[in-house]
Structure 1
Amino acid sequence: MTEFRSPDQEVSRLRVRLVVAGVFMLLCLSLLAARFVYLQVMRFDYYHTRAEDNRIALVPVPPNRGAIVDRNGKVLARNFAAYTLDITPSQVEDLDETIDRLAEIVDISDYDRRRFKKFREESKFFESVPIRTKLTDEEVARFIARRYLFPGVDVQARLFREYPQGDLLGHVVGYMGRINNRDVDHIEARGETANYRGTEHIGKRGLEESYEAELHGKTGSEQVEVDAGGRKVRLLSRRTAVPGNSLILTVDAGLQAVAHQAFGERRGALVAIEPSTGGVLALVSSPSFDPNLFVDGISVADWKGLNESPDRPLLNRAIYSAYPPGSTFKPFMGLAGLSTGKRTPQQAIADPGFYVFGGHRFMDDKIGGHGMVDLHTSIVQSCNTYYYMLANDLGIDGIADFMRPFGFGQLTGIDLPGEADGVLPSPDWKRKRFKKPGQQKWYGGETISVGIGQGYNAYTPLQLATALSALVNDGVVFKPHVVKYVVDPQTGARREVEPKPIRQIPLKPAHLAAVRAAMVDVNKTGTGARAFAGAEYSAGGKTGTAQVYSLKGTKYKEGNVAERLRDHSWFIAFAPADKPRIALAVLVENGGFGSRSAAPIARQVIDYYLLGKRPAGQASEDEDAPADH
């Protein structure tokens, strides 16, 4: 029998269901309204910014790097624009396949692939990395026509560094290199991360490194609208980048070229300074290197050639390598004798050709000796015996105390990175240098060797040139510097790097005059006479020969010694003699007598600087030049 439901009951149930459904719908709508209020009102600023970020990109605009020119305006470093083909790895599914397909459009060599791999390892995943640089206009056109086939690949206009003088000033100017992780750490430590956004290269050596803060400039930015593919649609706003400052140097590129050519294939260094300011006129390290090799990422072959060469072209011998000064130390020793009262200009000693100390015979270069020798003769004829005796009278502490104010054995503070401090020997230095007690003791015989510029003495060519500048500048020691002006490219305003006197050494004019007069006669009748024969000016100088290894009592014969074990050749000079405008130190590694190898280089440099004479050819070495030490 069929059961019939009451109509009232059905209506009541329906009403309950409708109420429940209504409440549920009202709750859902309330939740949606609350969420809408939260998103559209309370979080409006946040999501509006996120939306704008998806539509608008903030692109850093790297600044134009400052130029570097010599004192006469000759360009040493500048920028040029070129196109690169960049890949953003995060936007590419198969890198190898993409590169292979790109190689069908533009030329991509094995070197390009290796460089891309190296750069990619040094970069963040989302950063673009160049696979090809310096594209031709034709290559750019071919790629642009097919760009839609290569998501994550695009053509970029970039600035590249160029060094028009090649290897002439490689060690002075330095070079640019891609920013690596160590550079990033240094940038972050200086708090300059924001200023390097979009910058891929940084100064690595020379002035490019030491004046990075001046040369780099300030990064700008562009606010651009982008499409769904991340490509620029239109420019919305721009904050202009501030170009880096330019540098005007004290260096004369013409003088540098003469000195560079004078070395030829020989290893060595030259530093020429203006004594009255400390401005560096020329700084040569031979052999040098071409900084252009590093601009686009140096190849494996080029790096191997530079890094593994026995001539070590990457080594800045002028400011880093320290050598015994040989007899170029004698003018300073003579001045020490006068200043301490141990000698007078007229006081003479008898030179039998040797000096006996502690049972050991220290030999002079001239068999039978030089006879009676005073200060003047000791410098002109380079008499060792005179300085053996003087060194013993002064004592090692007396020598060190007198030489220290001239800058021997300490950093000069030149505005180039990588300077070495050398060695000014003393008992205190030896105690710190050696660990074993037996090695720490100072022996009197070591003082005798120091007196002629041998023994533990080790100074850079820069230190010797700086000390000579002080000697001819009445005892005023200037801090050597390479940059003369820092120039704002927008206003043209120049900020001078003012000469900085470090100290005034208290020296008597009569003592200075006596030593300088003897150095002038070195180039007239002494060991430098052949190199300066016929000079149209009066110049002072001093030759020097520094031992590379101990003879152990045997007589030195150059022809019997391997080339790289032969003596180093030194020459220091200043001119004009009455009011010096240039003071220089020249070193030729394993060049033998200073009069034969180093002095002719100094003559060519001074001839050019004072007279504008450029040598027709490289000066030949004179086998018959007088011996010196």
Structure 2
Amino acid sequence: MRNQRRSAVQPPHTLKNTRHEAHIFRVRSLLAVVVVILLTGLLMGRLFYLQVVQHDVFITRSEKNRVRVEPLTPNRGLIYDRNGELLAENRPTYNLTLVRERVDDLDETLSLLVDILDLSEEEADAFRERARRPQRPYQPALLMSGLDDEEIAELAINRHRLPGVEVEGQLQRHYPDARIMSHALGFVGRINKQELETLDSNDYAGTHFIGKTGVERFYEDELHGKAGVRQVETNASGRVLRELGRTDPEPGLDLTLTLDKDMQALAYDLLDGRRGAIVAIEPDTGGILAMASAPGFDSNLFVTGIDQKAYQELQEDIDLPLFNRAIRGTYPPGSTVKPFLAMAGLASGEITPDKTINDPGYFQLPNDSRRYRNWLRWGHGKVDMKRAITVSNNTYFYNLANEMGIDTISDYMHRFGFGERVGLDIQGGSSGIMPSREWKRERFGDAWYPGETLSVGIGQGYWQVTPLQLATATAVLANHGEWVRPRLAQKIGDETVEVEQPGTKDDLVLENEDWWETVYTGMEQVVSGSEGTARRIGKDLEYRLAGKSGTSQVFSLGQDEKYEADELEERLRDHALFIAFAPVEDPEIAVAVIVENAGGGSTHAAHLARAMTDAWLLDPEESGLDPEEVLDEADSDEDAMPDTQG
């Protein structure tokens, strides 16, 4: 009963509080709305930031993925000789290039390329080295040039495996007459790391080659041109879909040289592979007609990159084919300087044309027992200036040098261009050596001795000249002292290179103009006189030729020693030199020839100089000039007159 009563009085179970739950729901809904609004606002803010604030940034990134800017390489200017003969051209070729920034795994890509192209181990090493050379971002690195059809096909088949690798069609430098023009023209080659740091990145965008030596280097700015650009649309794989725009490149200017291809070829053929050089100049314009150095080399090997083995062979060749003897080779000028010394003696007032000496076969300084010998041991007897030049008398010029003194000699020889870089546009030329008291003091810290002046008087001792200097001095002599700087460029584009150039030396003016004729007569008698040291080349001359022979000693003889060429090794024999200009009354050509270890200049070198003047002045068909016949005559003459040292 008690339990029944207790349960009867308990209150009934209460129902849910809907008002409270509704309140909770409203709060939670409000919070959810606030969160959604905040997140939406955040999303919209982010979208606004990306789409509006960062619009330029992301549109640029998008365009870079879709639009690519590619450089357009300018065509290099062509090079012609004075007659319009092509000396340097551009030939179409296919090159393999790689953009490192578009390659996922460089090592894997290079290994794949090596397998596809079936490269040797040496070629593969060079291949990898080119791929890793410093390069501007997104600029293609040149891996290989001159791809053939089979290689292009293999690369096309595997293109999907080679992102960033392209086969590009380009024009490549080629030299039709590479060997005979190698030193004069120079060559282009791949741009190296040092050049990359200094070149204009805009002008050289997409360019893989640059002038390295010779004309190609000196006129690089004119020949190269200016690069262009094009915008292309690409797909996700980087393949070009269409071109969006372009700025065409400006091609380089064509260059017309003063060189005559036929004269250059003749000079090279006359040297016949012997070590030496021939330079021919047009005196009134300074235009270089020929500038040959032998032996030469195939300059085309350097365009795409010569392999290590071939380059090492050239470097180790004892004949130094890479050495440009015409502008860098320095030699004692020997007796070729005697006409210039005669002019210096006249100009300085130390001598007159009529002054004579008696030559007993030697010259002695006061209080000195040493005898400075004439090449003809019993002497030439009574000698004046004309005869001294004609017979190349040493005693006369020992005496003249002693009277002038080394400083006067040096001063006047500088006026002819000795001891200086004389070329207007000759890259890499040597200045040679024109000694003086001050030069020796600075060079050796020693005084100058009178005996050294006598050696200079016959073109020996410290005096060193280049073939270009010797030809230039001969042109100045032919011009009655008028200076015209020697040059290689005749026209740059359509602009003619002026004959008168800044930096040209002052003309050499004499008190008496007849003195020029005194020296000319002596030189003319060298080839046409009965006593002339080079009289053997004067046969059947159809014009007036002035010349002077020279013999350059490779080593010094003792006072009473006699030079015996047959007993010496070939490379210890004297060098043969000869200078000439013609016609004497109105010179059209000045020539300097040097043939190393060929003996006396009155023999071998003289015939080569005569052949050069014949080729320039006479009709080719009428002259019947045959280089082989000239060389045969020169060799026989060399055997017939071994003792002539003038």
TM-score band (shorter)?
over 0.9
Contact 2:270–2:627 (Cα < 8 Å) also in 1: no
Q: Provide the C-alpha distance between the structure 2 equivalents of 1:269 and 1:26, rounded to a whole number of angstroms.
A: 91
In structure 2, do the counterparts of structure 1 residues 230 and 204 end up closer, same or farther at CA, with 3 Å as the change threshold? same
State the partner residue of 2:59.
48
Give the Cα separation in 2 of the matches to 1:194 and 1:174: 25
Report the counterpart of residue 505 of structure 1 in structure 2: 508
**2:84 counterpart residue number:** 73
1:218 aligns with: 226
Is 1:16 the counterpart of 2:27? The answer is yes
Residue deviations 1:370-400 (CA, integer Å, cap 9, x gap): 1111000100000100011111100111111
8 Å contact from structure 1 (residues 65, 245) kept in 2: yes
Aligned 8 A contact 1:178 1:200 in 2:
yes
Call closer, same or farther: CA 1:364–1:495 in 2, change over 3 Å. closer
Give deviations 1:458-478, integer Å, cap 9, x for gaps: 111111111111111011111
Could you list the per-position Cα deviations for residues 494-540 of structure 1 after superposition, in whole angstroms to 9, with x for gaps in the alignment?
44344435321112311111101110110112011112322222100
Distance 1:466 1:3 in 2: 128
Deviations 1:579-601 (A, max 9, x none): 11000111111111001221111
What do the CA deviations read for 1:521-561 (whole angstroms, capped 9, x no partner)? 10112011112322222100000001112223322211222
Shift of 1:242: 1.0
Match of 1:205 in 2: 213
Shift of 1:79: 0.4
1:354 aligned partner, one-letter code: Y
Q: 1:48 and 1:444 mapped to 2: Cα distance? A: 83
Task: Give the drift of 1:126.
Answer: 5.2
Q: Is the 8 A contact 1:115 1:297 kept in 2?
A: no
Q: Does the residue aligned with 1:360 lie in a helix, a strand or coil?
A: coil
**Residue 538 in 1 paired to residue 538 in 2?**
no
Question: Over residues 179-217 of structure 1, what are the superposed CA-to-partner deviations in whole Å (9 max), with x where a residue is unaligned?
Answer: 001111331xxxx22110000111101111010001001
Aligned to 1:134, the other structure's residue is in SS state coil
- For residues 498 and 366 of structure 1, do their structure 2 counterparts lie closer, same or farther at Cα, with a shift above 3 Å needed? closer
Q: 1:481 aligns with which of 484, 487, 493?
A: 487
148, 172, 194: which one aligns with 2:160: 148
SS of the aligned residue for 1:195 comes to: coil
The alignment status of 1:339 with 2:356, answered yes or no, reads no
Amino acid at match of 1:521: Q
Deviation of 1:344 (Å): 1.1
Tell me which of 227, 251, 266 is aligned to 1:258.
266
Paired residue for 2:7? none
SS of the aligned residue for 2:76 comes to coil
Structure 1 residues 379-458: aligned runs within 5 Å: 379-434=389-444, 437=445, 440-458=446-464
Structure 2 counterpart of 1:363: 373
Determine whether 1:519 maps to 2:519: no
Residue 345 of structure 2 aligns to which amino acid in structure 1?
Answer: G
Alignment-mate amino acid for residue 628 of structure 1: Q
- Whether contact under 8 Å (2:130, 2:143) holds in the other structure is no
Partners in 2 of 1:568 and 1:65 — Cα distance? 40
Aligned to 1:320: 328
Note the alpha carbon deviations across 1:80-121, whole angstroms, 9 max, x for none. Answer: 111233344554456666566556665544554243123224
Q: Which region of structure 1 is more displaced relative to structure 2, 516-525 or 2-11?
A: 2-11
Q: 2:562 aligns with which of 555, 558, 571?
A: 555
State the shift of 1:138 in Å.
Answer: 4.7
Aligned partners of 1:107 and 1:66: how far apart in 2? 35
User: Residue 472 of structure 1 aligns with which residue?
Assistant: 478
- Structure 1 counterpart SS, 2:579: strand
More moved, 289-298 vs 252-261:
289-298
From the superposition, tell whether residues 495 and 57 of structure 1 become closer, same or farther in structure 2 (CA, over 3 Å). farther
CA pair 469-3 structure 1, distance change in 2 beyond 3 A = farther
CA contact (8 A) 1:108 1:132 kept: no
In the TM superposition, 1:160-239 aligns within 5 A as: 160-187=172-199, 192-239=200-247
Q: AA paired with 1:147? A: R
Q: Which residue of 1 aligns with 2:468?
A: 462
Q: Which runs of structure 2 are paired with 1:279-358 in the superposition (5 Å)?
A: 279-357=287-365, 358=368
Q: Is the 8 A contact 1:112 1:132 kept in 2?
A: no
What's the offset of the Cα at 1:127? 4.6
Aligned counterparts of 1:496 and 1:387: Cα–Cα separation in 2: 40
What does residue 490 of structure 1 align with? none
Question: What is the CA–CA distance in structure 2 between the aligned matches of 1:497 and 1:236, rounded to whole Å?
Answer: 44
Q: CA deviation at 1:133?
A: 2.9
Structural mapping, 1:87-102, within 5 Å = 87-92=98-103, 98=109, 102=113
| 1:575/1:606 contact within 8 Å kept | yes
CA shift for structure 1 position 142: 4.6
The amino acid of 1:416's aligned partner reads: I
Rate the CA distance shift 1:104–1:392 in 2: closer, same or farther, 3 A: closer
Give me the whole-angstrom Cα distance separating, in 1, the residues matched to 2:407 and 2:174.
50
Tell me how far apart the structure 1 counterparts of residues 556 and 151 of structure 2 sit (CA, whole Å): 62
Tell me the distance in 1 between the aligned counterparts of 2:399 and 2:252. 57
Residue 25 (structure 1) aligns with: 36
The percent identity for this pair of structures is 43
Give the Cα separation in 2 of the matches to 1:63 and 1:131.
20
For residues 64 and 475 of structure 1, what CA distance do their matches in structure 2 show?
43
1:346-382 residue CA offsets vs partner (Å, 9 max, x unmatched): 1101111111113321111112211111000100000
In structure 2, how many angstroms separate the alpha carbons of the residues matched to 1:99 and 1:49?
31
SS in 2 for 1:233: strand
How far apart in 2 are the matches of 1:155 and 1:401? Answer: 60
8 Å Cα contact 1:486-1:497 kept in structure 2: no
Verify: 1:35 aligned to 2:52, yes or no.
no
**Contact persistence 1:483–1:497 (CA under 8 A):** no
> SS state of the match for residue 196, structure 1?
coil
Larger radius of gyration: 2
Q: Say if 2:95 and 2:146, in contact at 8 Å, map to a contact too.
A: yes
Helix, strand or coil at the partner of 1:335: helix
CA contact (8 A) 1:108 1:131 kept: no
**Which letter does structure 1 place at the counterpart of 2:406?**
I
Quote the residue 2:388 is aligned against: 378
Could you say what secondary structure the match of 1:122 adopts?
Answer: coil
**Mapped partners of 1:289, 1:253: distance in 2:** 17
Q: Aligned partners of 2:56 and 2:413: how far apart in 1?
A: 70
- Aligned: 1:588 with 2:595: yes
When the two chains are superposed, the root-mean-square deviation of aligned CA atoms in Å is: 2.2
What code does the residue aligned with 1:577 have? V
Distance 2:316 2:277 in 1: 20
Larger displacement relative to structure 2 (388-397 or 615-624): 615-624
C-alpha contact (below 8 Å) 2:550/2:578 kept by paired residues: yes
User: Aligned partner of 1:175: which letter?
Assistant: F
Rounded Cα–Cα distance in structure 1 between residues aligned with 2:71 and 2:125 = 27
> Residue 614 of structure 2 corresponds to which residue in structure 1?
607
Which runs of 5 or more residues in structure 2 are unaligned?
1-9
Query: Matched residues in 1 for 2:132 and 2:213: separation?
Result: 23
Aligned amino acid, residue 546 of structure 1: S
- State the distance in 1 between where 2:148 and 2:588 align: 49
